[in-house]
């Protein structure tokens, strides 16, 4: 089991550098951030752009993997994202994982103007987005004319450090997104069932088991070994609080490892944040117990 930490890109840069270097020294396997123009309760607070933020983190570290959890089509285009990802893969010396989601209905959905897409439109756009991104990252030149995106001999030269491209970790809960993950993804991201009325530990585990079973089924349908996919569970979006103590976290990890998950990611505690309220010292305690 690999364990990673998600940091919000909301702190002064020197504070961020100190934190990411400390997390690397502790032995965490990967470090992530959200990819939003603004986000929830931080809309009127400092919030840095994701790709430059990750570029700075890559330059300040040497071992820990980095990634988006997750980028989305709400304000990204596959061609420009592919170029950014390819470049960041070189700067990080092959340490980038690109997490991708369908995009929600929050601030990012309307920041560039227009109405937010319907759920059906989001799903169709997401599929085209991922398929085009995959093709542009793999091929020296690629053209595409679709419902949502166009590419005219888009080039990603010299290509990624990682082959055949940077890994794509797809956030998926529903059948179509899980099928897309089985076809195109290198990894799967989930935090349970979005918008579920019951966010208890038992209900979340039941939802995740159902998602994992459907993912296995879709992998088999596409002639793919489900074991090829890394499986990431993002902590912090349900009622359960595994960071209450290192022991609670160890119990949590054991349960999800038995469900086949290869990676756990938790939000770094933030003093003053109304949600990520755990004691920051638990991050060091977890590292002492696991690494």
How do residues 42-86 score in pLDDT, each as one tens digit? 999 999 999 999 999 999 999 999 999 999 999 999 999 999 999
Residues whose CB falls within 8 Å of the CB of residue 61, separated by 6 or more in sequence, listed in order: 20, 21, 24, 31
The CATH number fitting domain 2-290, selected from 3.20.20.30, 3.40.50.300, 3.30.1370.60, 1.10.3720.10: 3.20.20.30
The stretch 165-182 carries a mean pLDDT of 97
pTM, 2 dp: 0.96
Domain extents for the chain? 2-290
Q: What is the pLDDT of residue 116?
A: 87
Quickly count: other Cβ atoms within 10 Å of residue 93's Cβ.
12
Q: To the nearest whole percent, how much of the chain has pLDDT over 70?
A: 100
Return the pLDDT at 199. 87
Instruction: Convert the pLDDT of each residue in 189-223 to its tens digit.
Output: 999 988 888 889 999 999 999 999 999 999 999 99
């Amino acid at each position: 089991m690999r364990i990673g930490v998600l940091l919000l890109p909301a702190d002064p840069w020197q504070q961020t550098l100190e934190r990411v270097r400390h997390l690397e020294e502790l032995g965490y396997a990967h470090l992530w951030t959200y990819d939003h123009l603004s986000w929830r309760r931080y809309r009127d607070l400092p919030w840095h752009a994701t790709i430059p933020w990750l570029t700075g983190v890559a330059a300040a570290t040497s071992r820990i993997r980095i990634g988006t959890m997750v980028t989305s089509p709400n304000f990204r285009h596959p061609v420009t994202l592919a170029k950014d990802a390819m470049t960041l893969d070189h700067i990080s010396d092959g340490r980038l994982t690109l997490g991708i989601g369908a995009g929600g209905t929050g601030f990012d959905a309307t920041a560039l103007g227009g109405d937010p897409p319907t759920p059906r439109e989001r799903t169709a756009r997401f599929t085209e987005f991922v398929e085009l991104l995959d093709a542009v990252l793999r091929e020296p030149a690629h053209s595409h004319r679709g419902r949502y995106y166009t590419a005219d001999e888009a080039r990603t030269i010299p290509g990624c450090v990682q082959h055949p491209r940077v890994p794509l970790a797809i956030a998926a809960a529903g059948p179509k997104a899980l099928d897309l993950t089985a076809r195109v993804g290198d990894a799967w991201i989930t935090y349970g069932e979005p918008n579920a009325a019951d966010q208890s530990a038992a209900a979340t585990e039941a939802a995740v088991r159902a998602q994992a079973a459907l993912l296995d089924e879709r992998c088999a349908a596409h002639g793919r070994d489900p074991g090829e996919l890394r499986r990431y569970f993002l902590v912090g979006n349900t009622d359960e609080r595994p960071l209450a103590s290192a022991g609670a976290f160890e119990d949590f990890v054991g349960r999800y490892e038995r469900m086949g998950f290869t990676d756990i990611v938790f939000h770094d505690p933030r003093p003053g944040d109304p949600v990520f309220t755990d004691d920051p010292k638990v991050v060091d305690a977890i590292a002492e117990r696991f690494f």
